[in-house]
Each structure stands twice: as structure tokens, then as C-alpha cells.
Structure 1
Amino acid sequence: MPTLRSNLPPTSALGIARRAQWRSLGIATADLTKPKVAIVNTSSELAACYAHLDDIADALKGHLRELGVLPFEIRTTAPSDFVTSAGRAGRYILPSRDLIVNDIEAAVEGAKLDAMICLSSCDKTTPAHLMAAGRLNIPTVVVACGYQHSGLAEGREADVEEVFLLAAMAAVTGEPTDDLEELADDAILGPGVCAGLATANSMHIVAEALGMAVTGSAPVRANSERMWQSVRRSAEALVGLIERDLRPREIITDASVRNAVRAMLAVGGSINTIKHLQAIAVESGLDIDVWEEFRTLGRSTPLLASVRPNGPWLTEQFEDAGGGATVLRELLPLLDGSSLTVEGSTLAHSLAAARPADGEIIRTVEDPFGTDPAIAVLRGSLAPSGAVAKRPVPDSGPRRFTGPARIFTSREDAIAAISDGRLRPGDVAVIRGIGVSGAPGMGLTSAFIFALHARGLAHSVALVTDGQFSGLVNQGMTVGEVSPEAATAGAPLGLVQDDDLIDIDLADGRLDLLVDPAELAARPPYVPLPDRDSGGGMLDQYEQLVQPLGCGAVLCARPNGPCQPAAEVAASTPEHTEHA
């Protein structure tokens, strides 16, 4: 057992004070010198995602005590995309990821605990836990706490994602909503994250592909026997990490990040995994451009799964067919199998017991669903630092769209333009000024995309935005997270005017503004709206600290690593060129 940093000199001021605190809590004297482990719990009564985490924390305490370590449960904020997106147009959602990281640092680093085991649930918790692991670099295991039992799995009409989509479309069409409440009451039948392969389940698979979760643990039904087995295996893995002093930065490497990128491309995961993986890499001290990895590896990564919302299969069927572990097993010839995992073995060794693909729900590399990337990273004169588009599996839609820009400064104004005729077939709606610093916090545009669907315009009107959209979105020509965002000085997106031609080319991976560079240079700079409602609190702080998406939107610059202060990023962006 390595020297434990938690064991302060027993009669020092701090050592004697914590003895007094812990003995008063009923901790035995013999336990005071054991490894001290944080159980990071994002429990909350606000959403079903977290409803079962207290039970998991209690079980882990028992497992860890049996294994000879001393557990301490700590709490963090617990955002839910469907609940805590109500305030300020959903702009608390992304910043809450970094708030969780700071919560963990304050508790774990402040107390000098020796290790942590993180209960990962809704969308932002898994990336936050992995970011904290990379930042603190103490032995860490991520536990995927499972997805909810949905109405669709019971043969009913909807899950929560379907209800959300139907409600958003009804708000535009004015169609009767009499049955929506009944559908909502049947949509969620148990605790856990949304049942589809959106951001939460995607990030659980990312954790496994990185080697930071036990093999075969994602996706998993919440409160199932498999989940409880993974909880116990995770406790055992953590103790092994402590004994070997194996730390996250030995597991989260350039190679393991590429493995995770391949996994997301192979399952058509959420586009949000790009910025989260970039943030994890930055916090782990890596100099890797995750956006470019998605861009290049997408051309050689086959699509092996077609799970809702990408295709017809339920996540339950995907899990029963082998889930993430089977996908990784099939991808192994394209992965770095020598990457380490929290179980103390290589990825290749850990995957040896995974079941082979069934050829129907999970395909083989030789017989995939398709070879076009479901997650397309674009670059070009309108997005020198990148942008992202999500496509269905398999993708039979158009690969190119060229049309005149129609500029909007809010999602609501763009939705109104659908009804009042300002947006017409052939147009490119540009919703700008809602990026990580421009919003601040990154605005959501999903409702606009659903409105296009409701009006039958999903394939005749394109979207380009520096905001984000849900992992549910995968149809139409929708391009999000354009970087540099409009609020960055000199960003091309901030210089676009109505009627400028925009060219979106998925096949070539390009997003271009077809305007003469000299004309662009003569245009006045972008000026953000003066009446943004940021509340004067957390979001204002976020605006001052957040770094560009190319840095994963982390909250501090890395001058000696892959990330520079935002001003330097703006100064180093390529010149805007016309792409015919």
C-alpha cells in the first residue's frame, strides 16, 4: 500500500482536529489510518435520473468497508437537462458541469482524500467526474448508474424524449395536446437517465471506452442485477487502484481518448461527447485536438449500432446484445488495446470476455450499418475552429446545402420567423450570440429544430448556430457549436449578414461563408445584445472564465497545454477565405 496523503501527523493541529471530527461521527480509531475514499454522489429529488443514487451510495459504503477502506459520501450539484433547463433558457446546463468539477475539488482536495468513486447519472455528471479525475489525479472509478425503465420498453407509446419532442412540436403547430399529460405519466417507469442513446448513455459508454469504468457496465438498466454487480466490481477495482497507486492520467491518455472517439462514432453517440471529451483531455493534461480526431477517425470508423434516437432499436435491446463492451470488442482492430483500465488490465484483456456482435442489433466491422460518420465535424471559413452536425443511422439524406443566411439573435425569434414567413425553403437560419461566452452558458436550439420538423421544413431549411442542441437531434441539415463563436472578436460568424451565401458540405466536412474576404474585413464588428439576462451571478462569472469549445469550454486557460486564453485563440484563427 502506498503512503496515504490523508494520514496527517496524528498530533498535528489538523491531524488532531480531524480525529476529533471523525471520532464524533462514530468512526473507529482503527479506521482512521485506512485509505479514505470519497463517494461522489449527485443525488437530487429534482429528477428521476438521481432518485436511486442514495441507495447506491449506501451499498458502496458497505462494500468499501468490507474491502478495508474508509468511505465518505460527498454531494455536488445535480443538473437535469429536462428540469434545470427552465431557468434562463437552459444556460445553467453546461456551466453546471464545471461547477460539479469544482465541487469535487473543494471537498476531495480540501480534505486530502486518497481516492474517489463517482456515481455518474445525467448528462453533465459523467464528464464532470472524468474531468475531476484528470484534474485531481487520484485513483478514481466512474460508476454508470443506469437508464430508466421507459414506457416504450413496456410497449406503451412514449418515453420522456418522445414526450418532449411531441410537446415542442405541438407548441408550434397548435395541435391539441390532450393526450400529452397521459403520455408523460407513462413515459418514465423507474429511476435513471433517459433511455435513449443521447448524452447520458453516450457518456457512460465513453467512461468505459476510456478505461475509467469497469468493462461491461454501460449501458445498464438502473437498479438491475447487472448494475448492482457493476457497483460491487467498481468498489473492488478502486481498492486495486489504491493498492497499485494507478492514477487517472495513466489511464486517460491520447490513445484512450481516441478509443472513446471511435466508440462514439461507431454507435452514433451524442454530439455533446466532443466538447466533453475535449474538456476531459484538457483536465488530464493532454495535448490532443478531439474535434480533429472526430473529423479524421470518422472517415474510417464503421457504424455498428442503430439505437434510438438514431435508429429503431431500444437501449434495452442494445444492452442485451452486449452494449458498449461488444461494440468495443468488434472495434478492437481499430483501437489501442494496450490502453489500461481501472481493473488493472489492458483494454484488450478486459474485452476478451465480451460477447461477439449478433449481426442485427450490433453489427460487425465487416458488415456495418454504414460507413458515413454519424457525427460530422466540419471546418471552413465560417468555422475555422470547427462545428458539428449529427446524422441518422444509416444516413440517406442530402450531403450538401447552400443558401442565403437569415440572421437571428435568439431561438424564439427564429421560431417566430417560421410562422411569419421570414424563413423560407432554401434559407440557412443563423442563430448566433448564444455560445459559451455569448449566451453566456451556451443556448439551446433544439426547440427551433423541432419547430422545423413540425412545419415540414426540416430538410429545406438549414441551421447554423454557435449554440448547442440536444443529443436527440439527428435529422435535417443542422450545424451547431460553430467555433469561434460570434462573441469572439473577429469571428466569421459574427460578421455574417442577411443574404450572405453559406455552404454546408458534409461529404467534404466543410462549413464556408461565400463572401469575399476584403468585404468581410470592412464590416463592422459583431456587437452582442445589450439586454442579455445572465442574472448577475454564476453565469456572469462563467462568461469571464470560460474558454473556447476548442478547449472543451473548461473554466481556465492552459497556457502550457493545448488551450490558450480566449483572446489568443481569436487572434490565431485562420483568415476568412471564400470557398467556391
Structure 2
Amino acid sequence: MELRSNFPVGSPRWATRRTQWKALGLSDQDVVKPKIAVVNSSSKLAPCFSHLDDIADEVVEAIREAGAVGFEIRTVAPTDFIMAAGGRGGYVLSSRDLLANDIEAAVEGGQLDGMICLASCDKTTPGQLMAAGRINVPTIVVPCGYQPCGVLDNGEPADIEEVFIKAGHVATGGITVEDLCTMSDRAIGGPGVCTGMGTANTMHIMAEALGMSLPGSAPVAANSTAMWENARASGRTIVEAVLAQRRPRDILTPAAFRNAVAAVLAVSGSINSVKHLQAIAVEAGVDVDISALFAELGREVGPLTAIRPSGPDSIEDLEAAGGALGVLTQLQPVLGLEVATIGGRTLGEVLQQAPEPDAKVIRPLHEPRAAHATIQILYGSLAPAGSIVKLSATERRQDSFEGTARVFEDAAEAIAAINAGQLDAGTVLVLRGLGPSGTPGMGMASNVVFALNGAGLTGQVAVVTDGQLSGLVNQGIVVGEVKPEGALEGPLGLVHDGDRIRSDIPAGTVDLLVPADELERRRLTRPAPEAARTEGWLGVYARTVTPLERGATLVPDAAPALQLHHYSKDS
């Protein structure tokens, strides 16, 4: 078949590419074969990525055996716990888009024929899928696994999220630094992403539900036999996909996004999936409102699993019970089964051959772990473009809350006020300026939530924020990712200390109880927000990022008509 990576024999482009590749040891037969990018976000900065180099080598070899050539390429490796230290946390979400641009530069610049993406920490999977939707070459996402979880002396499991939570108790004496260090020493037992149903495992399951990973690939233990077998199978399948021209935009349809939302709800997944799925849809030119899908499907799909921290089961239990494939099997009544998958079969054909899931871990659709959806979308006068609440699959929290606003523009100031005992029960802690434009990037608000827990104020003080929350653990009454964010024109930026705020989860509302004429007066007299930093990568991001309701992408509103300009074969 004609491959876009091959240029006319004798042309300058053909000659120079042949020269480069022959110097790498390729033969004349190799240089005309399909050329596959093996997208590797390897990094020794965090254990999430520390095992990816060996996987990349194995995938390149599988591609070679299947009759093509694999070229390993590198990208930025976003990791929340390390990279959130600088730029008020803004480097984490913004690196998702930097990663997508890394991929575009190599794959489009090199006119490669397809790609395999090694998926690891939270932002790698959505960034890879955003790039796939944008450049539209055959793509497979390979989940590279979760890390072993630690165990404390009392037999209780301990992971990095537990460390994160307990660190919020140090200032109030809830834990000693020595005990925190003991937990820290044991929390991670090897490479891979965080255990539990956090953002990374949610994203891996989401990729499979979208049809962009091979069936049965998530979740998976890092460096396990199953992970290696899936990596090799993906290497073989990407060559078939390139020859058959199975492109992401043929797979990433509205029905596929609906399936992915159902899967996230079923596993009580990360709230970060809302903005990431929206971003992937924007990049793929798909006109779909992900928040509306969560609100709609939340009336039909309850949590079918209860994986830590939403319940007692482990991520290992979910893998053994059937994983994403088992979840999709139980969800069949609400799925679009006609959608295509990267392996060439429809989802319905895949599920016909899927083993029966263990119903003790993955419940049938009509017997969920809870009657409520664990991701709730709230709208109202405070969040006209939406906001998100994460609930537990097993613990019922308050359905509603009304209190008096105390406004903070900085997470550190809020934590200082909490530790100084300055917040009373009945307060709504409003933390703003943490959205994609205001930070820029997105600031992390979970440290404020955990500080409230450490001060014994969980359930007594609510939190309303435009910031990013932990994909794994949220406690108490927390309304996150309020849209429009505080740095843009909208109600959140107009809240004053002393205002009354009310949230009603069953009604799906969060309201600012201030008369409209008073809000208009505030809008007209509101000082202009301070300009976001303008230097470096975060400056570029601040000048180009779209609102969170569009996934905080760098793609303008004309995204459905986005056209990529490919190099001419005659150049």
C-alpha cells in the first residue's frame, strides 16, 4: 500500500531520510516498510515512568517481527506529585497539552504512519489520545500498569494517596512526622501508577472503553506477564491497523465517548476524566458535551465496583474479576455496541467473546454498589457552565449544604487559616484563581481539603473551588472545577466574604444566594484580574488555553473544522 512515510525515489526528501535511517542500521527493505512511532514518556523523575524504556524496546521488537519499523520517540512525562511543586501546580495539566504537541511534532513532522503510546501517569493517556485525535494516524494506547501497594504493620494497605491525606494531619498533630515517614517508606513497592481507582487507572480503563486499547488491557499490574503480553500484541496489531487504515477519528465517535462515560461511572472513576474526555473530543473534532453525558448517564449507571478508596476492593481484585472488559460486559444494555475498535472488531463482537466477569467485584448494571452516581455534575447560579462533586461508592455523604462564604485566592492562605482555627462550622471555603487561566494551568485544591480533614472539619466546612482535585480521594462536601473559573467573567469571581452559598446534590445545583442586581453592580466595579505569568511555557499556555468546559485545550473554537497541513510529497 502507499504509505505517507515514503517519498518519491530520487527526491531530496527520500534521499535525506534514507541517509538518516541507513545510518541507524535499517536496510533498503526496512525504509519502505510502515514506520510506527513508539511514544515513550520515560522519566527517572518518578516511578510511574521508570519501567517504560524496557517496554518500548519490547514493542519495537514486536513491530519489527510484524513487518514494520518502530521508532521510539520521547515526550514530557507529567507527574502530579513531583511537578506540581512549581508554577502553583500549573505545570501538571498544561503538560498534558505539551505532551500532545511533542507527539504531533515528531509524528507529523516525520510523516510516520502510526503510533503506539505507552500510557502511564495521569496526563499521559489523555495527552496521547488528544494527539491521536488531532493527527489521526492509526494509534494504540498501551496501559503500562499500576505499582505494588505497601502494607503497614497493622495489615492495612498504604499508598501515596494515603501519604498525601495524612500529610494534611501533621500541622494539627494528627500524625507525627516519624509515622508519616514510615507510611511514605512503604507506600510504593515498585514501578507503575498509583494503586486504587485514581486518574491513571481511570484513564487506562477509559482508553479501552473508547476502543483505543486492545480488549483486556486494563487495569494491569506493571511488569506482569499480562502487561508484557498486551504490549507485544499491541505491537503486532498496530501494523495491521496501519495497513487497514483504522484511524482514531473512525473510532472516537459520539457513541464511543458515551461508552467511555458509562465505564468511568461504573468504576467510580476520577473526576478528572470529565475534562480529559472533553479535551480528547475537541481534538478529534467530535461535537459532544461530556458534562451533559455524565449528568444523563448518571441517572442510569451507578457504581458497579467499589475499588479503593471508594470501597473495600483492590485494583488487583478488579483486574482478576475481568477488568475493563468485565465492566463493559455488565454495561452492555446502555452501550453503543456497533462502535469500532482499534483491533478491527466492533465492541459488540469483542464482548460476545469476553469471559463472564466476577459479579462479586463487578456487579450487574441492575445491582450497583450504590443508587447514586459517584460523579455528580452540578449547575446553578454559581456554576452556570457546570461543576463536579465526587461521591464514594460505599459511604453516603450529606446531600446538601448551605453556609457563609470565606474567600481565598491562594491555597497556602486557606491552609494557614485552617491550621490557625479561623474557619468555623457552617463556612463555605471558596478557593478561586486555580483554574487553567488563573494559575495558569490548574492549581491543586486537594491539599486544602485534606487540611480540613486534619483539623476535624470534614463535613462541617464545605469547599467550592475552580481548582483541580485528587482523582482518587476527596472528602466531605467539595464542589470542584467550577466553571467559568474565577479568573474569567462569571459568578465565582464575584463572590464576597459573607455571601450565602447552597449546594444540593440530588437536585444537581450549586447557587450563590446574592440578588442579580448586586452581582451586576459587582461585575461593573470588579477590578481587572491580575495578569497571568507571561514568560516560558506557562505564559504560552495562559495566552492560548480555552475554558475548562472545552477541556482546557489549546485548540480554538473552530476545532471541528481543524485542518492539519501535511507536507507535500513533492517537497
TM-score, length-normalised on structure 1? 0.94
**What residue is the counterpart of 1:136 in the other structure?**
135
Are the aligned partners of 2:466 and 2:485 in contact in 1 as well (CA < 8 Å)?
Answer: yes
CA distance in 1, matches of 2:59, 2:102: 20
CA distance in 2, matches of 1:302, 1:357: 17
**What residue is the counterpart of 1:233 in the other structure?**
233
The letter of the residue matching 1:352 is Q
Gaps of 5+ in 1: 564-580
- 246-255 or 182-191, larger mean C-alpha shift: 182-191
**What residue is the counterpart of 1:209 in the other structure?**
209
How far apart are 1:529 and its partner, in Å?
6.2
Give the aligned CA root-mean-square deviation in angstroms.
1.7
- Cα 1:501/1:510, change in 2 over 3 Å: same
- Cα 1:8/1:554, change in 2 over 3 Å: same
How far apart are 1:560 and its partner, in Å?
5.9
- Cα 1:109/1:172, change in 2 over 3 Å: farther
Are the aligned partners of 2:152 and 2:186 in contact in 1 as well (CA < 8 Å)?
Answer: no
Percent of paired sites with the same residue: 50
Higher relative contact order, structure no. (Cα contacts within 8 Å, ≥ 6 residues apart) = 2
How far apart are 1:171 and its partner, in Å?
3.7
Determine if the alignment matches structure 1 residue 348 to structure 2 residue 370.
Answer: no
The letter of the residue matching 1:97 is R
Q: Secondary structure at the match of 1:179?
A: helix
Are the aligned partners of 1:418 and 1:424 in contact in 2 as well (CA < 8 Å)?
Answer: no
CA distance in 2, matches of 1:49, 1:368: 31
**What residue is the counterpart of 1:306 in the other structure?**
306
- Cα 1:424/1:173, change in 2 over 3 Å: same
The letter of the residue matching 2:504 is D
The letter of the residue matching 2:311 is G
Are the aligned partners of 1:295 and 1:376 in contact in 2 as well (CA < 8 Å)?
Answer: yes
CA distance in 2, matches of 1:484, 1:25: 50
**What residue is the counterpart of 1:282 in the other structure?**
282
How far apart are 1:144 and its partner, in Å?
0.4
- Cα 1:179/1:157, change in 2 over 3 Å: farther
- Cα 1:456/1:235, change in 2 over 3 Å: same
Are the aligned partners of 2:534 and 2:540 in contact in 1 as well (CA < 8 Å)?
Answer: no
- Cα 1:531/1:416, change in 2 over 3 Å: farther
The letter of the residue matching 2:132 is A
Are the aligned partners of 1:374 and 1:395 in contact in 2 as well (CA < 8 Å)?
Answer: no
Structure 1 segments of 4+ aligned residues over 6 angstroms from their partners:
none
**What residue is the counterpart of 2:190 in the other structure?**
190
- 475-484 or 553-562, larger mean C-alpha shift: 553-562
CA distance in 2, matches of 1:230, 1:319: 14
Are the aligned partners of 1:462 and 1:476 in contact in 2 as well (CA < 8 Å)?
Answer: yes
TM-score, length-normalised on structure 2? 0.95
CA distance in 1, matches of 2:163, 2:491: 37
Residues 453-474 of structure 1 show CA distances to partners (whole Å, capped at 9, x for unaligned) of 1111110110001111111233
The letter of the residue matching 1:68 is G
Residues 42-101 of structure 1 show CA distances to partners (whole Å, capped at 9, x for unaligned) of 000001011111000100111100000011000000011111111123210000000000
The letter of the residue matching 1:15 is W
Are the aligned partners of 2:171 and 2:419 in contact in 1 as well (CA < 8 Å)?
Answer: no
**What residue is the counterpart of 1:315 in the other structure?**
315
- Cα 1:526/1:107, change in 2 over 3 Å: farther
Are the aligned partners of 1:79 and 1:93 in contact in 2 as well (CA < 8 Å)?
Answer: yes
**What residue is the counterpart of 1:69 in the other structure?**
68
How far apart are 1:530 and its partner, in Å?
4.2
Are the aligned partners of 2:193 and 2:200 in contact in 1 as well (CA < 8 Å)?
Answer: yes
Are the aligned partners of 1:156 and 1:186 in contact in 2 as well (CA < 8 Å)?
Answer: no
How far apart are 1:506 and its partner, in Å?
0.6
CA distance in 2, matches of 1:171, 1:529: 32
Gaps of 5+ in 2: 563-571
Are the aligned partners of 1:401 and 1:462 in contact in 2 as well (CA < 8 Å)?
Answer: yes
CA distance in 2, matches of 1:91, 1:60: 32
**What residue is the counterpart of 2:368 in the other structure?**
368
Are the aligned partners of 1:79 and 1:124 in contact in 2 as well (CA < 8 Å)?
Answer: yes
CA distance in 2, matches of 1:70, 1:175: 54
- 364-373 or 179-188, larger mean C-alpha shift: 179-188
Residues 109-156 of structure 1 show CA distances to partners (whole Å, capped at 9, x for unaligned) of 001000000000000000001000000000000000000011149956
The letter of the residue matching 2:535 is G
Q: Secondary structure at the match of 2:384?
A: strand
CA distance in 2, matches of 1:175, 1:314: 25
Determine if the alignment matches structure 1 residue 488 to structure 2 residue 488.
Answer: yes
**What residue is the counterpart of 1:569 in the other structure?**
none
The letter of the residue matching 2:258 is R
**What residue is the counterpart of 1:9 in the other structure?**
8
The letter of the residue matching 2:84 is S
How far apart are 1:487 and its partner, in Å?
1.1
How far apart are 1:416 and its partner, in Å?
1.6
The letter of the residue matching 1:96 is S
**What residue is the counterpart of 1:575 in the other structure?**
none
How far apart are 1:394 and its partner, in Å?
2.6
How far apart are 1:354 and its partner, in Å?
2.8
**What residue is the counterpart of 2:446 in the other structure?**
446
CA distance in 2, matches of 1:193, 1:125: 11
Are the aligned partners of 2:207 and 2:213 in contact in 1 as well (CA < 8 Å)?
Answer: yes
- Cα 1:322/1:560, change in 2 over 3 Å: closer
- 416-425 or 251-260, larger mean C-alpha shift: 416-425
Are the aligned partners of 2:302 and 2:374 in contact in 1 as well (CA < 8 Å)?
Answer: no
Determine if the alignment matches structure 1 residue 178 to structure 2 residue 178.
Answer: yes
How far apart are 1:302 and its partner, in Å?
2.2
Are the aligned partners of 1:172 and 1:454 in contact in 2 as well (CA < 8 Å)?
Answer: yes
**What residue is the counterpart of 1:518 in the other structure?**
517
Are the aligned partners of 1:357 and 1:364 in contact in 2 as well (CA < 8 Å)?
Answer: no
